[in-house]
Amino acid sequence: MGLFDFLTSTRRPPAGTPVLPADEVRKHLLSVDRPTAPYRLIDGASEGVDVIAEWKIVDASWYEIFAKAGLSKTFSIFMKLHPENHEVGAVDREYTVSWSAGLPTVKLAFQAQP
């Protein structure tokens, strides 16, 4: 454990965990995505990152469930692989959700935390 890991939210794998190439890590992250999940993982190249994870808040098959749960915030996680350090950096974007006639309106609150 690094001296400042608790300040940077760094999580390290157990000793002896094999190091995978960045392409393999990206492939594994994207493989978590599935049509039946309330989230999605997508290629983040358009945003200058490797992978984006986000809730399917505007997906017709999920927004009713999110509305009934009273969801008022949602997040997107922007992940960038750093193969030279064998790390994945992540930045969260928080969005405010308001509901009108059962349909979501999503607004970026722009509070990013690395």
Condensed to tens digits (0 to 9), the pLDDT of residues 36-74 reads 999 999 999 999 999 999 988 777 777 777 777 777 778
Q: What's the CA gap between 91 and 79, in Å, rounded?
A: 7
Domain membership flag for residue 84? yes
Domain membership flag for residue 75? yes
In the numeric block, the tokens 């358009």 are attached to 46
Domain membership flag for residue 24? no
Domain membership flag for residue 8? no
Domain membership flag for residue 6? no
- Round the average pLDDT of the chain to a whole number and report it: 82
Which residue segment(s) compose the domain that 62 sits in? 37-114
Domain count, the chain: 1
Q: What is the 3-state secondary structure (H, E, C) of 49-71?
A: CCEEEEECCCCCCCHHHHHHCCC
Q: What is the reported pLDDT for 104? A: 56
- Strand, coil or helix: 114: coil
Between 111 and 36, residue with greater pLDDT: 36
Domain membership flag for residue 16? no
